């Protein structure tokens, strides 16, 4: 085993889709706003308020810039979950008496799916589009699903489990042609791929702070001005954020999100290229050392910081216990309370057996070449050890079709 000294014996972090560490430059930018520049950005009568307000407006411009939007179109929220709720419920409640049909996709994040379910309870019709084997939606299926009652299409930019990038520009064009609002949950996309709300005809877009090397507890929603998209707010109060989201803005967090977006804008191209190299190195290295592994989701239409791989015949949680010096996540049921394996992998048509054997490997800004070498070594050693322990591996080697056995499902 290679000695792992460079992480001070902390587990190696390979779970960048769960969260990202706050960039030290972001922390530095935030620092003065906790203590010295602590004013309420909504205080209109003194220096402290003006100072905080100025900082908030700089941040708003930084967030707008990475999306090719204008500052006035950015609403700060507590995170992408709130942004997604506000976008979909807000539009549904404003326009619901005219149009009552929502289109989304079965591989969306739970906060979009559950928002849609809640609206169904209130009488909205929701179509949940299926995805192709590679995780992408079929544009013809989308087109066919749109009716004259369709109000909004909500399709995520990048999937959180499998990292696939949906064809945003094409979806945007279809929505615009049919005069349907297009919302995208871009929590996993901001700073990873170029986004342009104009070129992509996006009307609403959700941003998360902690997925882009910013702080937790802050997010944003882009709400198009021309043509104007109107929302009923979820949170009522002092009318901040143009009445769409009341509550005092957390200046340090807002500043952090702004700085995170600015850094991402500047560094995205170079970082994407570097991560692409690491991603391919990891995938090739694993394939070379472990037979019968399967990539879940499209390889090419994918952010460079993600791999989701099924290691057939080795259960995901069992594997994670063996590689406990790597912080990764699994699509195995055993890691969740539900006992159902990942609904995203199932939606791709991945066999439930294979879904149990999947790992999500997330690479990011602080992942190094050395980390990848270590990960390849550790994962391949453990997979091969656990396969020696696996009755399924034995059976497969003996040419027994596992599907031919009548298993007692429990």
Partner 1 sequence: MAYSKELIDHYENPRNVGAMNDGDGDVGTGLVGAPACGDVMKLQIKVSADGIIEDAKFKTFGCGSAIASSSLVTEWVKGKTLDQAIEIKNTDIAEELALPPVKIHCSILAEDAIKAAISDYKAKMEAKKEAAE
Decide: is 317 part of the binding site for partner 1 (CB under 8 A).
yes
Taking the least distance from each CB to partner 1, the nearer of 251 and 358 is: 358
Binding part of the chain for partner 1, among 88-96, 235-243, 296-304, 387-395 by CB under 8 A, reads 387-395
CB of 394 to partner 1, least distance (A): 6
State CA 160 to chain mean position distance: 4
Q: Where are the beta strands (DSSP E) in 115-216?
A: 125-129, 150-154, 181-185, 204-208
The verdict on whether 105 is a catalytic residue reads: no
Which of 391, 399, 401, 404 touches partner 1 by CB under 8 A?
Answer: 391
Give the helix/strand (H/E) hosting 272.
helix 251-289
Which of 104, 332, 367, 380 touches partner 1 by CB under 8 A?
Answer: 332
In the stretch 285-314, what mask flags binding to partner 1 with x, by CB under 8 A?
----------------------------xx
Taking the least distance from each CB to partner 1, the nearer of 300 and 407 is: 407
Distance CA 55, CA 252 (A): 9
Neighbours of 231 (CB within 10 A): 23
CB of 316 to partner 1, least distance (A): 8
Say if strands 101-105 and 150-154 run parallel, antiparallel, or are unpaired. parallel
Strand partners, 181: 152
Binding part of the chain for partner 1, among 47-55, 114-122, 327-335, 363-371 by CB under 8 A, reads 327-335
Binding part of the chain for partner 1, among 54-62, 193-201, 202-210, 382-390 by CB under 8 A, reads 382-390
Which of 334, 349, 397, 400 touches partner 1 by CB under 8 A?
Answer: 334
What does the angle CA 345 – CA 346 – CA 352 come to, to the nearest 5 degrees?
100
Taking the least distance from each CB to partner 1, the nearer of 1 and 408 is: 408
DSSP secondary structure string for all residues of 57-101: HHHHHHHHHHHT--GGGEEEESSHHHHHHHHHHHHHHHHTTT--E
CB of 264 to partner 1, least distance (A): 34
Distance CA 402, CA 410 (A): 17
Quick one: angle between helices 251-289 and 369-388, nearest 10?
50
The torsion region of residue 341 among left (phi > 0), alpha (psi -120 to 50) and beta comes to beta
Tokens standing for 316?
């995901």
Residue 149's SS3 state is coil
> Whose CA is closest to 2, among 387, 386, 314, 368?
368
DSSP 8-state class, residue 135: S
Which of 169, 299, 389, 400 touches partner 1 by CB under 8 A?
Answer: 389
Size of the residue set binding partner 1 (CB under 8 A) = 28
Decide: is 1 part of the binding site for partner 1 (CB under 8 A).
no
Which of 170, 353, 373, 377 touches partner 1 by CB under 8 A?
Answer: 353
Decide: is 341 part of the binding site for partner 1 (CB under 8 A).
yes
Taking the least distance from each CB to partner 1, the nearer of 380 and 390 is: 390
Decide: is 390 part of the binding site for partner 1 (CB under 8 A).
yes
Decide: is 400 part of the binding site for partner 1 (CB under 8 A).
no
Taking the least distance from each CB to partner 1, the nearer of 140 and 388 is: 388
Taking the least distance from each CB to partner 1, the nearer of 11 and 49 is: 11
CB of 387 to partner 1, least distance (A): 9
Taking the least distance from each CB to partner 1, the nearer of 166 and 390 is: 390
Decide: is 356 part of the binding site for partner 1 (CB under 8 A).
yes
Distance CA 198, CA 246 (A): 27
- 9 contact partners, CB below 8 Å, separation of at least 6: none
| Residue numbers at the binding site for partner 1 (CB under 8 A) | 313-315, 317-318, 321-322, 332-334, 337, 339, 341, 352-353, 356, 388-394, 402, 407-410
Active site residues: 334
């Amino acid at each position: 085993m290679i000695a792992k000294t460079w992480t001070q014996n902390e587990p190696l972090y390979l779970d960048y889709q769960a969260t990202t560490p706050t960039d030290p430059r972001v922390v530095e930018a935030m620092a003065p706003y906790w203590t010295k520049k602590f004013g309420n950005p909504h205080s209109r009568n003194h220096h402290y308020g003006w100072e905080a307000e100025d900082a908030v407006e700089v941040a708003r411009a930084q967030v707008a810039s990475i999306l090719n939007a204008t500052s006035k179109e950015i609403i700060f929220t507590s995170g992408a979950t709130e942004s997604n709720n506000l976008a979909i419920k807000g539009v549904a409640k404003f326009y619901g008496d005219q149009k009552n049909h929502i289109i989304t996709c079965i591989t969306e994040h739970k906060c979009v799916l559950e928002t849609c379910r809640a609206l169904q309870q209130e009488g909205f019709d929701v179509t949940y589009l299926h995805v192709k084997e590679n995780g992408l939606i079929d544009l013809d299926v989308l087109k066919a699903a749109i009716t004259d009652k369709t109000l909004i299409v909500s399709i995520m930019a990048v999937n959180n489990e499998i990292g696939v990038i949906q064809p945003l520009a094409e979806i945007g064009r279809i929505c615009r042609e049919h005069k349907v609002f297009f919302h995208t949950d871009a929590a996993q996309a901001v700073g990873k791929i170029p986004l342009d709300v104009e070129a992509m005809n996006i009307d609403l877009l959700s941003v998360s702070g902690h997925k882009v090397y910013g702080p937790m507890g802050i997010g944003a929603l882009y709400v198009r001005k021309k043509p104007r998209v109107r929302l009923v707010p979820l949170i009522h109060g002092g009318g901040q954020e143009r009445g769409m989201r009341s509550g005092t803005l957390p200046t340090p967090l807002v500043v952090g999100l702004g700085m995170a977006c600015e850094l991402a804008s500047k560094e995205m191209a170079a970082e994407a290229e570097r991560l692409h190299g690491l991603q391919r190195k990891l995938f090739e290295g694993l394939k070379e050392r472990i037979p019968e592994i399967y990539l879940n989701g499209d390889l090419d239409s994918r952010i460079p910081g993600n791999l989701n791989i099924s290691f057939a015949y080795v259960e995901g949680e069992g594997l994670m216990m063996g590689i406990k010096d790597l912080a990764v996540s699994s699509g195995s049921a055993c890691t969740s309370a539900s006992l159902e394996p990942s609904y995203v992998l199932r939606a791709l048509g991945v066999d439930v057996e294979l879904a149990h054997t999947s790992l999500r490997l997330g690479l990011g800004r602080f992942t190094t070449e050395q980390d990848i070498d270590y990960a390849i070594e550790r994962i391949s050693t453990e997979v091969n050890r656990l396969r020696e322990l696996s009755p399924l591996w034995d059976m497969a080697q003996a040419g027994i079709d596992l599907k031919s056995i009548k298993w007692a499902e429990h």
